[in-house]
Amino acid sequence: MSVRAGDLDARLHDALPTEIIEAALSEVGRDQLALVSSFGAESAALLKFAADVDPAIPVIFLDTGWLFEETLTYRDALTAHLGLTDVRTIHPLADDLATQDADRDLWFSDPDRCCFIRKIEPLARGLAPFAAWLNGRKRFQGGDRANISVVEADGRRLKFNPLANVTQEELESVFTSAKLPPHPLVASGFASVGCMPCTSRTASDEDARAGRWRGLAKTECGIHVVKTS
């Protein structure tokens, strides 16, 4: 898989987002390709590119049980706006929540475990039928994302990063030119939107993800940890 991913990454190194999505479709077919979206602050851009290629590409949305109500409303509005026809909402397992987070304070005592039962395990179930997936990470977001490839091996799957090459200015241009509705929380200072307890506003001189898990060494929920087998 790593050789296959490397070959695709070299071929798509300078490709446009729609070209990368088209290549993913050509590689595995629509039934084997999923787009994973948080319907967060910048999600509309990738969803717009995907809708332009094929609005029936399956979209997986993780409802962690801790999302802002504005995010759930945005999911529904953006789905209708872009004409997406296969958005699948995945939830954590009720047994996991009952046995491991009955008091809903795991985010405070063990945020990594909270992310596991609310995001990583549900995503694994959601991606089970698929051979490849698309996600919205961008290099300009910094941190662990600064050097991402366009295509990666993710266990037995291919992982495509169609927005890896885009700049902040290009992303903003997509929102303007396509008249994409912004996430409702962006106007109040949220540059990146995740779960309520672990998301805060960012200052103008901070990077977009500075408000995620503020004060902790944690910068990712874990779904983007590359699997090698």
Q: What is the CATH number of the domain that holds 82?
A: 3.40.50.620
Domain assignment present for residue 86? The answer is yes
Domain assignment present for residue 81? The answer is yes
Domain assignment present for residue 200? The answer is no
Domain assignment present for residue 141? The answer is yes
**Cα-flanking dihedrals φ and ψ of residue 90, to 5°?**
-110, 140
Mean pLDDT computed over every residue of the chain? 92
Beta bridge partners of 134: 35, 160
**Cα-flanking dihedrals φ and ψ of residue 211, to 5°?**
-85, 5
Which token pair is 114? Answer: 């909270």
SS3 76: helix
Domain assignment present for residue 109? The answer is yes
Beta bridge partners of 153: 158
Query: Looking at 114, 115, 195, 221, which residue is catalytic?
Result: 221
For 29-39, the pLDDT digits (tens) are 999 999 999 99
Query: Residues 40-63: what's their mean pLDDT?
Result: 97
Question: What is the span of the domain harbouring residue 40?
Answer: 2-180
Q: Where are the alpha helices (DSSP H) in 29-167?
A: 43-53, 69-82, 94-100, 106-109, 111-115, 121-127
- 195 a catalytic residue: no
Domain assignment present for residue 92? The answer is yes
For 94-144, the pLDDT digits (tens) are 999 999 999 999 999 999 999 999 999 999 999 999 999 999 998 877 777
**Cα-flanking dihedrals φ and ψ of residue 151, to 5°?**
-130, 135
> How many domains is the chain built from?
1
pLDDT at 210: 87
pLDDT at 206: 86
Domain assignment present for residue 195? The answer is no
For 138-178, the pLDDT digits (tens) are 887 777 777 889 999 999 999 999 999 898 899 999 999 99
Domain assignment present for residue 118? The answer is yes
